[in-house]
Amino acid sequence: MKSGSNIPLAEIAIVLGFSFYGSLAHTLMMNMSAGKRGMALFGLVIMNTTIAGFAGLMGYLISKRFGLGVYETYMMAGMAGFMGGKFLELVEVYISRRFKK
C-alpha cells in the first residue's frame, strides 16, 4: 500500500460490515451467560460495535500493508471485529516489540 493511496469506500463498507457482524456474534454469544436484557444489552452492543469497527479498520489496514488478498483481508476484518479490544491489545504488543529493537 503506497502512502497517500485512495481506499475505495465500498471496501470500507464491506470491512465495517464484517467487523460489525463479528462484534454482534461475539456480544450475543457472551451475553448468553450474562443474560442482559433491554437497554443494558443495547448499550453493550453499541459499545462493542464501536470498538469492533475501529479494530476491523485496523485489521484491514494491516492486511493491506502485508499484501494479503481480498478474501484474507475481509476475514481479518471479521476476526478483528469478533476480537474487538483484544485485537487492539495484540496490535499494541506487536508495535511495541517491533520498534523496541
Where are the domains positioned within the chain?
A: 9-100
Residue 52: per-residue pLDDT: 87
Which residue is associated with the grid cell 465500498?
10
Residue 59: per-residue pLDDT: 87
pLDDT tens for the chain, 101 residues long, are: 455 567 788 888 888 888 888 888 888 887 777 777 777 778 888 888 888 888 888 888 888 888 988 889 888 888 888 888 788 788 888 888 888 76
Residue 1: per-residue pLDDT: 46
d(CA 5, CA 8): 10
